[in-house]
Amino acid sequence: MKRVYNFSAGPAVLPEEVLKEVAEEMFDYQGSGMSVMEMSHRTKLYESIIQTAEKDLRELIGIPDNYKVLFLQGGASQQFAMIPMNLMKNKKVAYIITGQWAKKAYEEGKIYGEAMAVASSADKVYSYIPDCSDLDIKDDVDYVYICENNTIYGTKFWELPNTKGKTLVSDVSSCFLSEPVDITKYGVMYGGVQKNIGPAGVVIAIIREDLITEDTLPFTPTMLKYKIHADNDSMYNTPPAYGIYICGKVFKWIKKMGGLTAMKELNEKKATILYDYLDQSSLFKGTVVKKDRSLMNVPFITGSDELDAKFVKQAKATGFENLKGHRSVGGMRASIYNAMPIEGVEKLVEFMKKFEAENA
């Protein structure tokens, strides 16, 4: 059996320890004689899995009691609609457009009300985070929406926007649990888990309780009401049970690693190795303004499409998978999420040095 270094943006690398553990539990989970995949979610055993997962997540982030944790389905993209359906009261929302995912959320928001783009970095192919210290945010907007880490373009909000006292809603799909956060600054923090936590199919939404009401937009389907899921502890219908079990294992792994502070330190170390090399390379260069660089997704180019393709191909043959940039931007992208070991980044840089020497 051989494992590659997987730099995929998502679904992405998971901790090897977790994979081994779930493999061991595959046929007989804790003496039940069955896999978690085969288990009714209405059992004591499964209840303990989902409750422990929530408890560990609350501990990791430090989530106070006035926030609900929901395990949902439909991908992060479903939240582009679910958020306006549940939170739009005045039907006005301010969006900050820093990439494709924020733009998709904004386009979806337009279906339900007045979606206003109050800032954007589209003018420079989303290679920076716009100044959000004094935006034109109307008094009656329901919330301000951001995508905190831009998976495709490799930028990150290192400072949250000044929302002028309005509720902040943030898509953290690609930076979930990569660093400590102050959840009290957010009304909603949500993310698909397939970037940094678990298998695709689970979305975690952490929502301040006062935002969870019966007062949704008309025709909001039952399944898209936060209140239904909150009142039923994410068990209104069959939850993505196996995915949540894996998320729970990853929460335990992060706790064992030292929690979010340790995770951030490790992520900074890994990103620094790669960015330091990019900054002095005469062949490769990063595409993002330095101060806005993501620790999770690192896009880079050689400047030649031909060399980029050659690099991706040789890298793959050497055991570095999924380094091709997103289909909308080209070039390369190394996604170095929590579970990417530091050796993976060190070996990638070694390989890049060799490629540079051979192709200079």
Cα–Cα dist 28/348, whole Å: 38
> Binding residues for ligand PLP, how many (CB under 6 A)?
12
Binding mask 281-300 for ligand PLP (x = CB under 6 A): --------------------
Binding mask 298-317 for ligand PLP (x = CB under 6 A): --------------------
Residue with token string 């002028």: 164
Taking CB under 6 A as the criterion, the residue among 41, 92, 166, 195 binding ligand PLP is: 195
Q: Which long-range contacts (CB under 8 A, 24 or more apart) does 89-92 make?
A: 89/142, 89/215, 90/140, 90/141, 90/142, 91/142, 92/116, 92/138, 92/140, 92/141, 92/142
- The packing angle between helices 259-280 and 342-359, to 10°, is 10
**Contacting residues for 248 by C-beta, under 8 A, at least 6 apart:** 49, 50, 52, 53, 56
Looking at the Cβ atoms of 92 and 195, the one nearer to ligand PLP is: 195
75 binds ligand PLP (CB under 6 A): yes
195 is catalytic: yes
199 binds ligand PLP (CB under 6 A): no
Cα–Cα dist 137/116, whole Å: 9
Nearest distance, CB of residue 307 and ligand PLP, angstroms: 27
Cα–Cα dist 104/173, whole Å: 14
Residue 280 DSSP class: H
Nearest distance, CB of residue 77 and ligand PLP, angstroms: 3
Check: CB of residue 140 under 8 Å from CB of residue 92: yes
Residue with token string 């969006």: 95
Taking CB under 6 A as the criterion, the residue among 147, 271, 295, 345 binding ligand PLP is: 147
87 binds ligand PLP (CB under 6 A): no
Looking at the Cβ atoms of 8 and 281, the one nearer to ligand PLP is: 8
Restricted to residues 91-130, the positions that interact with ligand PLP (CB under 6 A) are: 101
Catalytic residue among 101, 252, 270, 292: 101
What number of residues does the chain have? 360
253 is catalytic: no
Contact segment (CB under 6 A) with ligand PLP among 20-28, 73-81, 87-95, 277-285 equals: 73-81
173 binds ligand PLP (CB under 6 A): yes
Spell out the alpha helix ranges (H) of 62-174: 75-87, 100-112
Cα–Cα dist 67/70, whole Å: 10
Looking at the Cβ atoms of 77 and 162, the one nearer to ligand PLP is: 77
Looking at the Cβ atoms of 171 and 308, the one nearer to ligand PLP is: 171
Contact segment (CB under 6 A) with ligand PLP among 15-23, 44-52, 70-78, 227-235 equals: 70-78
Check: CB of residue 294 under 8 Å from CB of residue 156: yes
101 is catalytic: yes
Applying CB under 6 A, the residues found at the interface with ligand PLP are 10, 75-77, 101, 147, 151, 171, 173-174, 192, 195
Catalytic residues: 101, 171, 195
